[in-house]
Structure 1
Amino acid sequence: MSVPSPEPRFTLFGESRSASRPEPGLYVVATPIGNLADITLRALQIIAGADRLACEDTRVTGKLLSRFGIERRMSAYHEHSSSEDGERLIAEVQAGGSLALVSDAGTPLVSDPGYKLVRQAIEADVPIYAIPGPSALIAALAISGLPSDAFFFAGFLPNKEKARAERLQTLQRIPGTLLFYEAPHRISESLAAMAEALGERQAAVCRELTKLHETVYRGSLSSLARDFGEMAEIRGEIVVCVAPPEADAVPDEADADRILTGLLAEMKPAKAAQEAARLTGLPRRELYQRALDMKGDR
């Protein structure tokens, strides 16, 4: 005999409120990146009413649920989860359930493993709904003081020096502000690598956004690398924003070849051409032909 799920409720401003059960589907729910007061009312309603929560870390999500008096079934879904784990979750939705996908902080799928689950939901023809909210990269861009009309999120740079330098080379000519996530123990060397590959661009290092010790450091890449190198201890989540290249630094064929060379070391020609087209704005078909020529696969 199955145990009935508790009535959907959540607590807000000391008042217990009811939450209706959402329609069957997968709900991609953004949660706070630090300050729990940033949770949206709709996010609380979905989290409280969903039949199950898919969480990056159930312990982290458990603290959020406790803060708002929510009791719901949780299942761990992280980078080590198998395809079968995702299939089981999607099967519950196909059977008429509602599933809320949350990450430890911010919007799921941004440097987060939820992409695989969303793809499985699409393939299963399951309805998918976005419940928008906090995002560290957008928050950082908004206060960086750098151009925000065009930007490119590059995630975390590779750990190894050579791979990091090659990755930065592929990002040199992107006509927009670059956004990176970075770990505290690597921030100084990453900023130095950015200065070497990208030149003396202005940048902003945003640390602990929305938290008690939120700090934004602004300056050139080399000066920021020097400043962080002199700090005794660095803690917290970090977003790095780097200004776009000068207006006359537009991608050309030489840039395309350099980018393709780096991408072909890790990707097949079709995928490399697609990524190079996104980075440079050049036609994918032309880039694919150049990739084939470079690989000798005509």
Structure 2
Amino acid sequence: MQLSFTPDEIAAIVQPRARRGATGATICGISALGTARPGELSFLGNPRYKSEVTRTKASVVLVPREYAGKPRSGQLFLVVDQPSVALARVCARIEPLLWPAPPPGVHPSAVIAAGVKVAATATVGPLCVVEAGAVIGERTHLQASVFIGRNAVVGDDCRLMPGVRLYAECRIGHRVRVHANTVIGSDGFGYELVGGRHEKVPQIGTAIIEDDVEIGAGCAVDRARFGRTVVGEGTKIDNLVQVGHNATIGRHCILCGQVGISGSATIGDYAVLGGQVGVA
């Protein structure tokens, strides 16, 4: 993936509060302070790496306002409020090169049932299956081998990566990104011991993913026994996370890798759960 930004183009993206120094280098890459080379962009996102700024060979460095150091000759410091956020703004300009927007339409190998509503601006990739009554919103992209069950709904501006499964009657809001091989709406884990045998309890509820959620690869969000399992607006979920039936996760939470949320648990808004945390 080829990158090419002038220092002025980087500045236009990050809108610095001040500039220190100057460089004529074309920016062709992004690296950490310790490994950056001339022609690359770097940033000071954590004060513990402050000493590396004086040694970095990066041509452009994003630094916070409290950093008082001066750039070397041929080096530009762009002073911003939050260097990590500023870098994310640059990466947002680069991301379309990694995931170029496909033309809208349905791939010939996809299987689309009668009565499905696919927005004219949506893209349905190779080998996808969309069952009867499902709705696919505007500008949404289903990558290869995505399954959308009966009467399921995917909102606008979503991206479902290869192998995502959205089971029947479940719903995804707007601007949601779901990574490869995640399953939404699989049966909750419910059994009753009857006559010495485990008898399955039917799971007839649904799973709801609200707007602006991102779910990592290999996750499972189980459907409710009855009612709803809910992942709240703006929540971000790492890889290999299990959300049990009838759980409610609040708005703008962070769930790190291998978190497990048991059935009927409730997580409030803005909660942060570190790796392998379990909530019962």
Taking structure 2 as the reference length, what is the TM-score of the superposition?
A: 0.26
- If you compute each CA radius of gyration, which structure gives the higher value, 1 or 2? 2
Q: Which structure ranks higher in relative contact order (CA pairs < 8 Å, sequence separation ≥ 6)?
A: 1
Structure with higher helix content: 1
Structure with higher strand content: 2
Taking structure 1 as the reference length, what is the TM-score of the superposition?
A: 0.25
